[in-house]
Amino acid sequence: MGSVAAMKAVAVLFFLSLSLFVWADKVKEVKELQIGVKYKPESCELQARKGDKVRVHYRGKLTDGTVFDSSFERGDPIFFELGTGQVIKGWDQGILGMCVGEKRKLKIPAKLGYGEQGSPPTIPGGATLIFDTELVEILGRGSKPNDDEL
């Protein structure tokens, strides 16, 4: 009889630990954009605003830590016009107000990222995305980088 009780106890503990594992994974998912400022320069004369052409370095990760893309490793920051839908909504919102040299961690819910469809094969549907970002340059409204800078 003692071994049956022990087997039941092991089964219950296994179920509880599995439930905790699934719950902990869901806790990593976010419902709204979360912005964490990791570094802000002492001087900030210009902040990124809608319509600015910006260059941003980034490292994109899933909640399990898997890196799916990184401009840091390529040495090639992304160039886009802020607030115009050229990037995912979480970026258009999360980069606003950044200073050149500022570093932010963006936790982006699926609805502001790639949605329920994801971006196969690297980003599963419904994925929360985590980006380490650094604003490299603000080129201003309507301006373009020099060809030799790209």
What amino acid positions are annotated as catalytic residues? 58, 68-69, 88, 114, 131
User: Residue 62 carries which side chain, given as an amino acid letter?
Assistant: L
Pseudo-torsion of CA 137, 142, 147, 150, nearest 10°? 40
**Exposed, middle or buried by CB within 10 Å (0-12, 13-18, 19+), for 78?**
middle
Alpha helix (H) ranges present in the chain?
2-27, 71-74, 89-94
Partners of 79 in beta bridges: 55
Residue 133 contacts residue 95 (beta carbons within 8 Å): yes
Q: How far is residue 124's CA from residue 74's CA, in Å, rounded to a whole number? A: 23
Residue count of the chain? 150
